[in-house]
């Protein structure tokens, strides 16, 4: 196999593992969002306040940002503490990007608002990052 084909193969593997890891993190974060009544707000991104629609949107977003995490962290995903640290930082970054900037902007709400909802969002994003990292670690440890 050529070097380029080998690199592509690794990238595809890291991407798919990232999607699965992102879904794992998304399910856990989504459960927290369901318990706190936040899924209807996510549904508003597609014009509905339906919690089920919000859950589907949340999982699609989770898979997408998991794919990127897999590409970024896949090369060192077999090092538990390193990938867990990367997952926490990644979750924190997505809290700022998604929770404090993009989602409020898309819904016509104030950006960078620090309130109880923002704190719950921070906890959820950190949880997402840690669960996604743990799943990516577990997937990288499996024999292919």
72-103 residue pLDDT tens: 998 888 899 999 999 999 999 999 999 999 99
Question: What does the pLDDT read at residue 102?
Answer: 96
Query: What values do phi and psi take at 47, rounded to 5?
Result: 90, 20
Quote the CA–CA distance of 3 and 9 in Å, as a whole number. 10
Question: Structural domain of residue 14, as residue ranges?
Answer: 1-141
How many whole angstroms from its chain centre is CA 34?
A: 16
Question: What does the pLDDT read at residue 4?
Answer: 79
Q: 119: helix, coil or strand?
A: helix
Name the domain count of the chain: 1
Confidence label for 123 from pLDDT (cuts 50, 70 and 90): very high
Which among 76, 88, 77, 70 is positioned nearest to 131, based on CA atoms? 88
Quote the CA–CA distance of 143 and 10 in Å, as a whole number. 14
Residues 6+ apart with CB under 8 A from 108: none
Percentage of the chain lying above the pLDDT 90 cut:
85
Contact by Cβ (8 Å): 59, 18: no
- pTM, two decimals, is 0.91
2-49 residue pLDDT tens: 777 766 888 999 999 999 999 999 999 999 999 999 999 999 999 999
């Amino acid at each position: 196999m050529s070097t380029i084909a080998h690199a592509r193969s690794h990238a595809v593997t890291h991407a798919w593992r990232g999607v699965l890891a992102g879904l794992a993190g998304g399910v856990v974060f989504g459960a927290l969002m369901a318990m706190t009544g936040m899924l209807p707000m996510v549904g508003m991104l597609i014009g509905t306040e339906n919690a089920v629609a919000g859950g589907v949107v949340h999982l699609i977003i989770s898979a997408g940002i998991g794919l990127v995490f897999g590409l970024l962290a896949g090369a060192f995903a077999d090092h538990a503490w390193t990938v867990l640290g990367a997952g926490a930082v990644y979750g924190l970054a997505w809290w700022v990007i998604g929770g404090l900037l993009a989602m409020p902007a898309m819904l016509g709400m104030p950006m960078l608002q620090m309130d109880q909802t923002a704190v719950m969002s921070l906890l959820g994003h950190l949880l997402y990052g840690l669960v996604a990292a743990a799943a990516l670690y577990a997937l990288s440890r499996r024999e292919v």
